[in-house]
């Protein structure tokens, strides 16, 4: 299967409310259409995770990112431009995504991916894609495809073929929360 066919299949699955398993710029992720509440609920169910713990979304560009927040502070763009490691930014006043994806305080975690497959997937899907590590909550994240449990593999609707043979170290993204008053909180280095 070509990468383009893989992307097409993953998009088709998400357009019909399905959940995918896919390689990202960090670890393997469980994903879905971030605007579809039922699909997001299914991701929480697969993760066996309380929906009060927010999930991360991926987008392909800063233009796409700004569609999902009422206001993106200047410091967020500076972070996007200067960070080398994949960095997830939590911003206030999220809009245009599933309500069950937005944290109780109105914030949303989003990352602009630079990795070829996930960037192309986000670009062609034209919406943010949920990206949470491919594991049951509390268990180690799946750095590579071979690390994903049968339980997770059987719970999703589509498993991407791209990068399945890869065996190299991957780590989760850094997470930085930017508050309304300019406060910066490092959640994960």
Domains and CATH numbers, the chain: 3-188 (3.90.870.10)
Residue 134 and residue 148 in contact, taking contact as beta carbons nearer than 8 Å: yes
pLDDT digits 0-9 by tens, 55-103: 999 999 999 999 999 989 888 888 888 888 999 999 999 999 999 999 9
pLDDT in tens, 142-173: 889 999 999 999 999 999 999 999 988 888 89
Residue closest to 62 by CA, chosen among 76, 75, 41, 52: 76
Closest CA to 32 of 104, 41, 23, 8: 41
Burial class (CB in 10 A: 0-12, 13-18, 19+), 66: middle
- Under a CB-based contact definition with an 8 Å cutoff, are residues 172 and 56 in contact? no
- pLDDT, tens only, 92-133: 999 999 999 999 999 999 999 999 999 999 999 999 999 999
- Three-state secondary structure string covering 6-67: HHHHHHHHHHCCCCEEEECCCCEEEECECCCHHHHHHHHHHHCCCCCCCCEEEECCHHHHHH
Q: Is a pLDDT exceeding 90 seen at residue 182? A: no
- Mean pLDDT (the chain, rounded): 93
Which tokens is 183 given? 């406060």
Using pLDDT thresholds of 50, 70 and 90, give the confidence band for residue 52. Answer: low
Tokens of 111: 């990352």
Contact between 19 and 38 under an 8 Å Cβ cutoff? The reply is no
Q: Residue 169, exposed/middle/buried by CB under 10 A (0-12, 13-18, 19+)?
A: exposed
User: 22: which strand partners?
Assistant: 29
Report yes or no: 155 and 46 within 8 Å, Cβ to Cβ.
Answer: yes
């Amino acid at each position: 299967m070509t990468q383009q066919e893989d992307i097409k299949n993953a998009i088709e699955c998400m357009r019909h409310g399905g959940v995918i398993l896919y390689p990202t710029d960090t670890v393997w992720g469980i994903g879905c259409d971030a605007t579809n509440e039922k699909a997001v609920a299914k991701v929480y169910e697969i993760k066996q995770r309380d929906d009060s713990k927010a999930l991360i979304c991926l987008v392909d560009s800063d233009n796409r990112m700004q569609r999902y927040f009422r206001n993106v502070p200047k410091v967020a763009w500076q972070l996007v431009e200067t960070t080398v490691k994949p960095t997830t930014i939590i911003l206030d006043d999220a809009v245009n995504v599933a309500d069950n994806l937005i944290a109780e305080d109105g914030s949303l975690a989003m990352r602009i991916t630079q990795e070829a497959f996930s960037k192309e997937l986000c670009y062609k899907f034209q919406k943010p894609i949920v990206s949470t590590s491919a594991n049951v909550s509390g268990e180690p994240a799946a750095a590579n495809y071979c690390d994903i449990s049968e339980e997770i593999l059987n719970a999703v609707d589509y498993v991407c073929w791209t990068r399945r043979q890869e065996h190299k170290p991957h780590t989760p993204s850094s997470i930085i929360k930017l508050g309304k008053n300019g406060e910066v909180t490092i959640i994960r280095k």
